[in-house]
Structure 1
């Protein structure tokens, strides 16, 4: 099975100049744990995770507020140069990258341009449906019956 078989596309993305509060609102409204940060050419320049957006934003009671006058942007908090893979990469390799790197999602790029994203949830969705081949995933997406689905 390939990354392209299970990736989510189109991808909800962020721009580097997006305010942190707006990025957080976008993740919450879509139920995502991260979103790729792209430039004007849809090239991935970073990824903004829940942790990136929350880090140093909530202060203990009584601590002074930061003296920042400008709302921080995604560019200031994102994780730069995230690991990415290609649509034709084997899904097992994508999952290994996620597990070994302790990351929740992997941007999928084609010639450097973002075309999709594979999240842990995408992988679990395939497992929950017991889809073990690209053909099974394709038939499911097309709304066709799958007679060779793996049995428990």
Structure 2
């Protein structure tokens, strides 16, 4: 195998790993939707692939962002009906927790004792941009592997 073909193989492998890592991160986001009727909130959550987030814990978040009271778990159909606690003016923060890297955060504005669905905000998760790191890491991986497989030219003067 020539030096060029080795480097080409290593380049294609590093770029392929970058693409695969970026796609895996995108495939597991949680998407939630809400319906609010007469004091009950119907929460539907699924992965971005469409699969329900069965068993994910739904909880309130404290003002400092730490997990608070657990309200229940998402059922097999990806839905849960909640009766919200005493609604005070302000914002009620909910977390749908499907495990590390699988969380959704919803900020529910409360006015006059009811949720204003038109103003609900889905806050981004606090996970790092792994896809970006994969793309940045691919050239570093290529350089490291290139150093490991570097073939010395045969010396003409022995």
Report the TM-score, using the length of structure 2 for normalisation: 0.26
The structure whose Rg is larger is 2
Report the TM-score, using the length of structure 1 for normalisation: 0.27
| Higher relative contact order, chain-length normalized (CA < 8 Å, sep 6+) | 1
